[in-house]
Amino acid sequence: MSDPRIAGAGVTNFGKHPERTGRDLFAEAGLEALDAAGVDPEDVESLYYGNFMGELAEHQGHQGPLMAEAIGLDVPATRVEAACASAGAAIREAVKTLRNGESEVVVVGGAERMTNIGTAAATDALAIAADDLYEVRAGMTFPGAYALMARSYFDQYGGSHEDLAHIAVKNHEHALVNEHAQIRKEITVEDALEAPTIADPLGLYDSCPITDGAAAAVLTTEEYAAEHDLDAPVAVTGTGQGGDNLALQDRPHLAQTPAADKAAEEAYADAGIGPDDVDVAEVHDCFTIAEVLAIESLGLYERGEGISAARDGKTTRHGDRPVNLSGGLKAKGHPVGATGVAQLATIAWVLDGSHPRADAVPDGTVGVAHNAGGTVASTTVHVMEVKE
């Protein structure tokens, strides 16, 4: 069983695109990915597409075939929905399809259009990824849910809002050179601490923005890449997925994310590596506390130690294991259905040396992408390695 190769990727600029539709955004990313891969579109055999709120934001369901048409493909196309982990789940399906010999070339991607419905409606739409009966109807929003998780973490392990502020500062600094990032603005710890409170202890700079955008990648079998002399040195060597109870009150821990633990364990075992082998990571930092929970679930830090990693400089581009060189969801932006594939693209570009922050890990050969849905009730983890 060979490891699928990332032949090419495309990512739109993330941000506000009020004049563009989801299909328009995905067409840009998908065509860019096909062009970068140098693959004949007629060789593509299937499409897996991540999207979460198309029915609410664009009154459009059944988006799989719509997006295949947008990039000129006549192939079986499946929309995958796992809340904010939709694109990560789509990657997993693409990897399995290539490994089992069903296809040799697959396009995987995702898109989301959110800003057109406004902040209040987008927040309400995102909330349906929580338990409607026992959370949403009681007034729970995701800022509130992650604030509860942050408070629980502080109570159990220690830490402060100032520790979280260092994560925001780091990710904003990483995004400064990312041409696709929504927020290319440097901030200070004081800026983060003095920003308006969203849900105590989380403030404005602890929260990712509402974003429009799309991302796509072309994955092929190792054999196809070799036969067609593709420049595809980065392979997806491990894939994992985990789940948890949807509602926070049904979980034994608010300061841990077992779904991510399970996904990471499965992905590492699949790739035959461990956390110590990881050189760089892109993680799902929808809120700053989410980055802490992610890097601990990935085994990059022990429980209670992830909170100080950014403050200590360990996860910055100058640190020993950079996290979110793209700027993360926090600064790059979070078009929900596209995020997981955007993470995949970032890791591939960092490892092949083409990303503007690749100099942070000049000898890096192993990267990991962590994509989470809801309050981490769904999580995918993918390991990528340089395989010349």
Residues classed as catalytic? 84, 334
Closest of 175, 174, 259, 163 to residue 206, by C-alpha: 163
Answer whether the bond into residue 143 is a cis peptide, omega within 30°.
no
Q: DSSP letters along 355-373, please?
A: STTGGGSTT--EEEEEEEE
User: Does the N-terminal peptide bond of residue 201 adopt cis geometry, omega within 30 degrees of 0?
Assistant: yes
Tokens of 386: 């340089």
What is the Rg, in whole angstroms, of the alpha carbon atoms belonging to the chain? 19
Nearest to 333 by CA among 149, 88, 112: 112
From CA 273, how far away is CA 242, in angstroms rounded? 18
Judge whether 361 and 106 are in contact, CB under 8 Å.
no
How do strand 213-220 and strand 234-243 relate by DSSP bridges?
unpaired
User: Distance between CA 91 and CA 106 in Å, rounded?
Assistant: 10
Q: What is the maximum alpha-carbon separation in the chain?
A: 57
Rounded to an integer, what distance in angstroms lies between the CA atom of residue 292 and that of residue 275? 15
**Count, residues in the chain:** 388
Phi, psi of 138 (to 5 degrees): -90, 0
Token representation of residue 371: 């994509």
